[in-house]
Chain A
Amino acid sequence: MSSKKNNIATFFQTLPKNIFSGFVVSLIALPLGLGLAMASDAPPIAGIISAVIGGIVVSILGGSHVTIVGPGNGLVGVILVAITTLGLQNAYIAIVFSGVLLMGLGFLRMGALANFFPSSAIQGMLAAIGLIILGKQFHIMFAHKIKREDTIDYLLEIPFTINDALHYESKGLVFAALAGVISLAIMLFYSKIRNKYLQLIPAPMWIVILSIGFSYYFEIGLHEPNPIAKEYMISGIPSFQDIIADIPTPNFSGIWNFPFWASVLALTLIASIESLLSIKAVDKLDPEKRRSNVNRDLKALGLATIGSGFLGGLNVVTVIARSSVNVNNGATNRSANFFHAFFLVLFIVLFSTQLTRIPLPALMAILVYTGYKLASPNVITKIFSIGKEQLVIFFVTLIITLKIGLISGIISGVIATLIIHIIINKSAGLFLRNVLKPNVLMYQETDEQHNFYVSVKHFCSFLNYYRLKEQLDAVPENQDIIVDFSLCEFVDHTVMENMNNYQELFQKRGGHFDVVGLDMHDTDSKHPFALRRMLPVPKIIKNSLTRRQTSMKSLAKDYNYNYSSKKEKEVSFLNNFQFFNTKNINHVYNKLSHEDKKMKLFDIEFSEGEFIAKEVIRKTMLYINLNHNIPEFTLDKEGFLEKVSALAGIKDIDIENHDDFSDRFFLLGENVNEISQFFNDDITHFFESNPYYHVESNGSALLIFGRQRLAGMKEIKALFDFGKRLKAVIS
């Protein structure tokens, strides 16, 4: 009960902050809503309606925390097609149906849907949407309305429009184009100017304020009509009463045809992908590090879309730009979304007539900027740096989306990715045989650290990533988790990118996310997200370091150690250790070493048993060379070494007066007297109070290791620290 009261108290405490950030967001949502609706050929007010309905419904029923919902960029292309092919009234009905489907996705728990698409294909689709927006609106920004069949035609015409604009004769058009260009400049340079007062109002709102101010200057100051041509002013912003009166009456007669349902599907697909990607991105920004309930959000978005469609609004989706502004302005819960809707209503009620003073090109400049952001050259260079094959996927999706449509675009992106994966692996069987197998194993290790261990077999790509994701999502982010890809022949870019996201997420929430077992895989580029393929014959020199390897490198730098990822065959320093008596060392790699050769930390690959039952094992070990001689011994957890003892015929040595130590550890060695002397109070206490490791002495050096597998970064640090302290205690 008390926690509930507490929640209410915090809610009221943070209310002012949320009201404020809702207000700031509404300043952006107003021009964007108008612009996005107009770009989709819908009445400008439709955008505001969807933001208002969405804000109210999702803030009450949604499952995310600091997201903002409203009309989305991604949907512009689809809604445009829907309205041109179906007509406005039927398009509203299509929106209603897509809302129903969206709700269905929520009930079917399809929040993982966005993960079934390769990330380069999604990038390509978003870039295509950016180009659709940019291509169409660029001409309006230059006060040059044209009508073309194809987005590509719009893009090709851009130079001619600029040329035309330079030769305008009509004063109205010149002013209109100027308004557009100045607005674009504001969008481009706003983020570059650092001024406290200027930044109080977001760039889109500056454009609105300046254009309304400009219009009043002419009307009141100069007593002249606004010089911008009439047809380039926003028209048809109804007053609040008119909106209520103009609610369309739904008519379901025109729904039994193919284009209608194609539109419904496209709307649902894009709305869900855009929302899911945005929610994922916003979760990363949330200062309170909460996890959004995506399925619940999908249901709320679906319901909001249904309402919006009935009231003459567009699809309601979660939008990333407005949400990030929301977070930046100190929003802490969903009430900010509600207040954003509230202020939008207030604006329409109070200022709907003022909005007609905004020139169209100014509004379109905002959209041109958004479109450019989606398709900017940076996106392409980033994808290129990950790998050439990703660029192929990107462009296939981009071009087919522009030429045919969004659904065909994303499907062709998926197919292209699949074909590329098959070519890279020279095997379709790898995917066909294993795609349906539950190839992800996760369990909590039963030792004292209780790490979660995840092993992935065969291959891991966008096709089966959802299985891995499902397991990873079931781990609280403040835990330690180790993902092992060493049984995985192929890991694709989508998975690598997501692993990186998880790494960030766990780090932020106090956990630890380690990826191991990729050192044997090869990549084409140095980018950490590049896809990785297991090599049958490992190369000597590899293209790039894994994240674990780079972390080891920086660890080496911190301690003034040298790091080398190369495989070394020279392992004679390990020969005198009992542990390797029955094992054959292949090589050591990922070595951290100091010039004085006193301590070395390395990954080691060795095989157990000879040709008959040869098994290759990889572990992380620490080697400490001591200055003086100590007795030879082997120390491990009680009950772990018995099989060795059976072989060697040596018994567990008990140290007098240290029952706890004798109970918990298994100590072996030939020279019982010397060993008993060596394990003095300091050393036994040290072992008693520290985690278990296998510690072995060959007389002049120590070998320390923990697990049956490669260690994660955190474990490496712990091992290193243990070794350093042990060394201090012994000498």
Chain B
Amino acid sequence: MLSFNFEQKIVKHVSLKPFKSIGIGVAFSPNLKANLFEAARLSVFFDAKLFLIHVGEPSEEKTNGLNEILKSFEKDQLNFEVVFKTGDPVDVILSTSEEKKIDLLILGAVQRERFVKYYVGSIARKITRQAKCSILLLVKPSVVRAPCQHIVVNGLKDPKTESTITAAFYVANQLKAKKVTIVEEINEEQVTVKVDDDKSLRRATIIKERIKLRENSRIKEIISHIPVECTTEKSIKLQPIFGKKGYSIGHYAQIMRADLLVMNAPTKMTFWDRLFPHDIEHILTELPTDVLILQ
């Protein structure tokens, strides 16, 4: 009992209020206002400082423009700073993030023409791969707030998962989302029996049931460590899925029309991972909804 409390305290200490400073790349595009509004709202929600990173020469005009847009957030005590720096966009944003100790970087997605499909553009993709902080990919930034109701979070068997789930609940709490679904993607390799006939099918089904129970109890254990104030009054669902890691969860979030998908950051990224996309790379080519990648 004692140890349990101790652990709970540690978790609380480590992962609550994970975002103290939020960064966003600013380009003077038609989407600027929507992007800034989203970033500003989040900064207010998380009580974090907002850094507007602009790749280019500083100018009075630009600063004034940004101040003008963010004026409406004055009443919320939004604390923001504009950073001007010239150079390669990827390098600028990455280096600024490190200098300013940004915990969460917001990036916009691109919509595939004619279709309601989103993907991450090349610059944002490079940043996502290299960034050492958490990333939020927005598919449809808007000036008016679209309420966030349903959050889907991964429950992979991974050391990072516990803090990811905890952070997801924290985000859910701050954004007042009422429904959290934890998707346990289970590698089909784990089902040791290959389905060939009725007998092997029966055995495979039993094994799958067992894995599901095991996964669910693992996640329940994690949830039990999360401070109660984050988990009460939420409908929490566990959904085990046998499928491709990183892809199934996106597909699921799309079907469920989740408002936010929260995922672990990939452990390592090698040349081969890009050639044979897996994990996060799948999500980047087909953004199902807003995606939060937690470091």
Which residues in A have some Cβ–Cβ distance to B below 8 Å? 63, 109, 111, 290-296, 437-444, 446, 455, 457, 473-474, 476, 484, 487, 536, 608-609, 612-613, 615, 617, 639-640, 642-643, 646, 708-709
Q: Does B9 contact A (CB under 8 A)?
A: no
A293 touches B197 (CB 8 A): yes
Ranked 7 nearest A-B pairs via Cβ: A613-B146, A438-B244, A612-B142, A293-B197, A441-B251, A293-B196, A643-B178
Number of interface residues, chain B, beta carbon within 8 A: 40
Q: Does B248 contact A (CB under 8 A)?
A: yes
Please measure, in the bound complex, the distance between the C-alpha atom of A142 and the C-alpha atom of B291, giving whole angstroms.
Answer: 74
Please measure, in the bound complex, the distance between the C-alpha atom of A111 and the C-alpha atom of B146, giving whole angstroms.
Answer: 49
Interface residues of B in 197-246 (CB under 8 A from A): 197-198, 200-202, 204-205, 233, 235, 237-244
A291 touches B235 (CB 8 A): no
Please measure, in the bound complex, the distance between the C-alpha atom of A439 and the C-alpha atom of B247, giving whole angstroms.
Answer: 8
Q: A638's closest neighbor in chain B, by CB?
A: B235
- Picked from B149, B198, B241, the residue with its CB within 8 Å of the CB of A290 is B198
Q: A639's closest neighbor in chain B, by CB?
A: B235
- Picked from B197, B238, B282, the residue with its CB within 8 Å of the CB of A291 is B197
Please measure, in the bound complex, the distance between the C-alpha atom of A446 and the C-alpha atom of B179, giving whole angstroms.
Answer: 15
CB distance from A113 to the nearest CB of B (A): 15
Please measure, in the bound complex, the distance between the C-alpha atom of A437 and the C-alpha atom of B248, giving whole angstroms.
Answer: 11
Q: Does B255 contact A (CB under 8 A)?
A: yes
Please measure, in the bound complex, the distance between the C-alpha atom of A72 and the C-alpha atom of B244, giving whole angstroms.
Answer: 39
Q: Take A293-B196, A441-B241, A473-B195 as given contacts and tell me if A642 and B255 are in contact as well, using a CB distance cutoff of 8 Å.
A: no
CB distance from B24 to the nearest CB of A (A): 19
Q: Does B114 contact A (CB under 8 A)?
A: yes
Q: Does B129 contact A (CB under 8 A)?
A: no
Extra inter-chain contacts (13) besides given A438-B247, A536-B114, A613-B142, CB under 8 Å: A291-B197, A293-B196, A294-B196, A296-B197, A440-B243, A441-B255, A446-B237, A455-B255, A474-B204, A612-B140, A612-B142, A640-B235, A642-B178
A612 touches B240 (CB 8 A): no
Across the interface, which residues of A come within 8 angstroms of B178, CB to CB? 642-643, 646
B144 touches A612 (CB 8 A): yes
**B240-265 interface mask toward A, CB cutoff 8 Å, 1 = contact, 0 = none?**
11111001100110111100000000
A642 touches B235 (CB 8 A): yes
CB distance from A705 to the nearest CB of B (A): 16
Across the interface, which residues of B come within 8 angstroms of A617, CB to CB? 257
Could you jot down 26 A-B contacts, CB within 8 Å? A290-B197, A291-B196, A293-B196, A293-B200, A294-B196, A296-B197, A438-B247, A441-B252, A443-B239, A443-B240, A443-B241, A443-B243, A443-B252, A444-B240, A455-B251, A457-B251, A474-B242, A609-B146, A612-B142, A612-B143, A613-B140, A613-B142, A613-B146, A642-B178, A643-B149, A646-B178
Q: A294's closest neighbor in chain B, by CB?
A: B196
Please measure, in the bound complex, the distance between the C-alpha atom of A613 and the C-alpha atom of B143, giving whole angstroms.
Answer: 11
CB distance from B114 to the nearest CB of A (A): 7
Please measure, in the bound complex, the distance between the C-alpha atom of A455 and the C-alpha atom of B247, giving whole angstroms.
Answer: 13
Please measure, in the bound complex, the distance between the C-alpha atom of A109 and the C-alpha atom of B196, giving whole angstroms.
Answer: 9
- Picked from B196, B248, B254, the residue with its CB within 8 Å of the CB of A296 is B196
Across the interface, which residues of A come within 8 angstroms of B196, CB to CB? 63, 111, 291, 293-296
Please measure, in the bound complex, the distance between the C-alpha atom of A291 and the C-alpha atom of B197, giving whole angstroms.
Answer: 5
- Picked from A293, A438, A487, the residue with its CB within 8 Å of the CB of B248 is A438
CB distance from B44 to the nearest CB of A (A): 19
Please measure, in the bound complex, the distance between the C-alpha atom of A476 and the C-alpha atom of B199, giving whole angstroms.
Answer: 11
A474 touches B252 (CB 8 A): no
Across the interface, which residues of B come within 8 angstroms of A63, CB to CB? 196-197
Query: Of B140, B176, B178, B197, which is in contact with the most chain A CB atoms at under 10 Å from its CB?
Result: B197
Interface residues of B in 258-279 (CB under 8 A from A): none
- Picked from B140, B201, B238, the residue with its CB within 8 Å of the CB of A474 is B201
Interface residues of B in 122-165 (CB under 8 A from A): 140, 142-144, 146, 149
Please measure, in the bound complex, the distance between the C-alpha atom of A31 and the C-alpha atom of B150, giving whole angstroms.
Answer: 68
Across the interface, which residues of A come within 8 angstroms of B242, CB to CB? 442-443, 474
Across the interface, which residues of B come within 8 angstroms of A473, CB to CB? 195, 201
CB distance from B111 to the nearest CB of A (A): 13
Across the interface, which residues of A come within 8 angstroms of B233, CB to CB? 642
Across the interface, which residues of B come within 8 angstroms of A487, CB to CB? 254-255
Interface residues of B in 88-131 (CB under 8 A from A): 114
B239 touches A446 (CB 8 A): yes
Q: Does B17 contact A (CB under 8 A)?
A: no
Q: Does B194 contact A (CB under 8 A)?
A: yes
A612 touches B146 (CB 8 A): yes
Across the interface, which residues of B come within 8 angstroms of A609, CB to CB? 146
Q: B200's closest neighbor in chain A, by CB?
A: A293
Please measure, in the bound complex, the distance between the C-alpha atom of A63 and the C-alpha atom of B197, giving whole angstroms.
Answer: 8
CB distance from B70 to the nearest CB of A (A): 19
Across the interface, which residues of B come within 8 angstroms of A484, CB to CB? 255
Across the interface, which residues of A come within 8 angstroms of B247, CB to CB? 437-438
Across the interface, which residues of B come within 8 angstroms of A444, CB to CB? 240
Please measure, in the bound complex, the distance between the C-alpha atom of A275 and the C-alpha atom of B57, giving whole angstroms.
Answer: 71
Across the interface, which residues of A come within 8 angstroms of B142, CB to CB? 612-613
Q: A65's closest neighbor in chain B, by CB?
A: B197
Q: B252's closest neighbor in chain A, by CB?
A: A441
CB distance from A621 to the nearest CB of B (A): 17
Please measure, in the bound complex, the distance between the C-alpha atom of A155 and the C-alpha atom of B197, giving whole angstroms.
Answer: 43
Across the interface, which residues of B come within 8 angstroms of A294, CB to CB? 196
Please measure, in the bound complex, the distance between the C-alpha atom of A613 and the C-alpha atom of B289, giving whole angstroms.
Answer: 10
Q: B34's closest neighbor in chain A, by CB?
A: A612
Across the interface, which residues of B come within 8 angstroms of A640, CB to CB? 235
CB distance from B215 to the nearest CB of A (A): 12
- Picked from B198, B239, B257, the residue with its CB within 8 Å of the CB of A615 is B257
B243 touches A441 (CB 8 A): yes
Across the interface, which residues of B come within 8 angstroms of A708, CB to CB? 256-257
Please measure, in the bound complex, the distance between the C-alpha atom of A440 and the C-alpha atom of B248, giving whole angstroms.
Answer: 8
Please measure, in the bound complex, the distance between the C-alpha atom of A496 and the C-alpha atom of B238, giving whole angstroms.
Answer: 32
B197 touches A292 (CB 8 A): yes
Q: A63's closest neighbor in chain B, by CB?
A: B197
A441 touches B146 (CB 8 A): no
CB distance from B140 to the nearest CB of A (A): 6
Please measure, in the bound complex, the distance between the C-alpha atom of A617 and the C-alpha atom of B286, giving whole angstroms.
Answer: 19
Q: A458's closest neighbor in chain B, by CB?
A: B286
Please measure, in the bound complex, the distance between the C-alpha atom of A476 and the C-alpha atom of B203, giving whole angstroms.
Answer: 11
CB distance from B196 to the nearest CB of A (A): 4
Across the interface, which residues of B come within 8 angstroms of A643, CB to CB? 149, 178-179
B248 touches A441 (CB 8 A): yes
Q: B176's closest neighbor in chain A, by CB?
A: A646
Please measure, in the bound complex, the distance between the C-alpha atom of A108 and the C-alpha atom of B9, giving whole angstroms.
Answer: 52
- Picked from B179, B194, B235, B254, the residue with its CB within 8 Å of the CB of A109 is B194
Please measure, in the bound complex, the distance between the C-alpha atom of A111 and the C-alpha atom of B194, giving whole angstroms.
Answer: 12
Please measure, in the bound complex, the distance between the C-alpha atom of A443 and the C-alpha atom of B239, giving whole angstroms.
Answer: 8
Please measure, in the bound complex, the distance between the C-alpha atom of A640 and the C-alpha atom of B146, giving whole angstroms.
Answer: 20
Q: A644's closest neighbor in chain B, by CB?
A: B178
A474 touches B195 (CB 8 A): yes
A442 touches B243 (CB 8 A): yes
Please measure, in the bound complex, the distance between the C-alpha atom of A63 and the C-alpha atom of B196, giving whole angstroms.
Answer: 9
Please measure, in the bound complex, the distance between the C-alpha atom of A536 and the C-alpha atom of B142, giving whole angstroms.
Answer: 25
Across the interface, which residues of A come within 8 angstroms of B238, CB to CB? 446
- Picked from A111, A291, A613, the residue with its CB within 8 Å of the CB of B198 is A291
A438 touches B243 (CB 8 A): yes
Please measure, in the bound complex, the distance between the C-alpha atom of A437 and the C-alpha atom of B285, giving whole angstroms.
Answer: 11
Across the interface, which residues of A come within 8 angstroms of B286, CB to CB? 437
Please measure, in the bound complex, the distance between the C-alpha atom of A640 and the C-alpha atom of B254, giving whole angstroms.
Answer: 20
Query: Of A111, A293, A473, A640, which is in contact with the most chain B CB atoms at under 10 Å from its CB?
Result: A293
CB distance from A66 to the nearest CB of B (A): 13
Across the interface, which residues of A come within 8 angstroms of B243, CB to CB? 438, 440-443
**B173-195 interface mask toward A, CB cutoff 8 Å, 1 = contact, 0 = none?**
00010110000000000000011
CB distance from B192 to the nearest CB of A (A): 14
CB distance from A457 to the nearest CB of B (A): 6
